[in-house]
Amino acid sequence: MSPSLAEKLKAKAGNRLGVRSPSVFSEADLNLEMILERQLILPQQVRDYIVVNPAGARLLLSEERRVHALAGAFRNPRAYYDARDLHASVLRLKQGGAAMAARLGIEYDVKLPKAAAITGFQEFTSPLRRCSACLRCWH
């Protein structure tokens, strides 16, 4: 559980919590194992969240055999991402994603939100860089 949500609920590790899924109207009684100090999956603006294991997700989603989505993070993100070279970072992230996709098989769709965000940022800022260069030429 996120620290902000734990604070709002006055929850502590070891507490039992009733968690309800509004999408399928199911609920589960889960044990709060820990308050997460840091997570690398969700965008930073998402403050209140819980992380459940696959069994807990199946209970909450009323899904006996499968879970709709599974998020993960690279064990060593610095090996893939370098802010000084965004293009190379995207290539490394995509290579890692392709390796995961190959191991998982075609039943799974591997998405790389950080690579997509970096690519989107580069596409947005590259015309701005050209414009600022053109402005300098006019002076």
Query: Is 139 a residue whose pLDDT tops 50?
Result: no
Dist CA 121 CA 124 (whole Å): 5
Instruction: Provide, rounded to the nearest whole percent, the portion of the chain with pLDDT above 70.
Output: 80
Which of 76-80, 86-90, 134-138: highest mean pLDDT? 86-90
100 C-beta neighbours (distance < 10 Å), count: 14
pTM above 0.85, yes or no: no
Query: Is 26 a residue whose pLDDT tops 90?
Result: no
Q: 15 pLDDT band (50/70/90 cuts)? A: very high
- Domain membership of residue 130 as a residue range: 77-137
Let me know whether 57 and 81 are in one domain. Answer: no
Dist CA 92 CA 79 (whole Å): 8
CA distances from 2 to 5, 37, 47 (A): 5, 7, 7
Let me know whether 83 and 60 are in one domain. Answer: no
Q: Is residue 3 part of a domain?
A: no
- Where does a domain end: 73, 94, 110? 73
**CB contact at 8 A, 33 and 1:** no
| Domain total in the chain | 2
- Where does a domain end: 23, 56, 73? 73
Let me know whether 65 and 87 are in one domain. Answer: no
Let me know whether 88 and 69 are in one domain. Answer: no
Tokens of 116: 């997509």
